[in-house]
Amino acid sequence: MVIVARNQTKGEAARQEIQVTSGNTAVDLLLADLSSQASVHQLAATFLERYEHLHVLINNAGVFLTKRTLTVDHLEMTFAVNHLAPFLLTQLLLERLKASASARIVNVCSGAHYTAHLQMQDLQLQQGYNVWRAYAQSKLAMLLCSYKLARQLEGSGVTLNCLNPGFVFTNMGMSNVGPRAQSVAKAILSCLGSSPEKGALTSLYLAMSPEVEQVTGKYFDKLVPKRTSKESYDQALQEQVWAASMQLVKLPMEA
């Protein structure tokens, strides 16, 4: 098992917790800042150098920012981390996944995508930033590209499915409030959201269950396949977002 963290101390704590809880000592920690495309490239290179096989890739990065922020690549942070980072990482690891088939890709999306309407001319939200709009459009973009990639992978032995983990109480978004407000926010949100353990159940189901071994191109909510927004099935829009994403991560389009 390989886990990815941005922070060495927090990542090491998570690695040790997994080892103790599971009894599996073969847990590796790789460090990466997913807001940096150079860091994503280095992450992929390090993995490919160390490991010959990749059977399951779970993309579960996310930010929720009240203010428009740019990455080192001069991209809007929410779109860059929530969509472009997993998009790029998946592309960089795709041949290893195919060589390891049967293999699975699991993309953690969100029910927020139902409220999103992509404006292709303003994916970077320069014409008016809104925290919910930014988050929702990043998850819709992930879903659109996931559906396209799932079709591309048919017959390859690699499946790709998306999921909604529901509202899970984590520290995501806590950087948006001050120290005093954090304690109040955590107390309220802990009552409203499910635990990270419960929130991870659908991800684990899609990653490991034999019931979905041959299932691909679906969106799951609480272990059940569910239809997504009408916009997410628009194949012309899927192609547009895919092309824009490839350009933003500086990868060549397929011949």
Residues 6+ apart with CB under 8 A from 53: 96, 99, 100
Q: Which of 51, 129, 135, 147 is catalytic?
A: 135
Residue 244 main-chain phi, psi, to 5 deg: -65, -40
Q: Which amino acid is at 143?
A: L
Write the CB contacts of 194 (distance below 8 Å, at least 6 apart in sequence).
166, 167, 168, 169
Name which of 128, 150, 124 is nearest 232 in CA terms: 150
Of 212, 222, 225, 106, which Cα lies nearest the Cα of 166?
222
Residues constituting the chain: 255
Residue type for position 203: S
Answer yes or no: 219 catalytic: no
CA separation for the pair 52, 103 (Å, rounded): 13
Structure tokens, 85 = 């980072």
Cis ω for the linkage preceding 102 (within 30 of 0): yes
- With 0-12 / 13-18 / 19 or more C-beta atoms within 10 angstroms meaning exposed / middle / buried, residue 62 is buried
Torsion-angle region of 128 (φ positive above 0: left; ψ -120 to 50: alpha; else: beta): left
Annotated catalytic residues are: 135
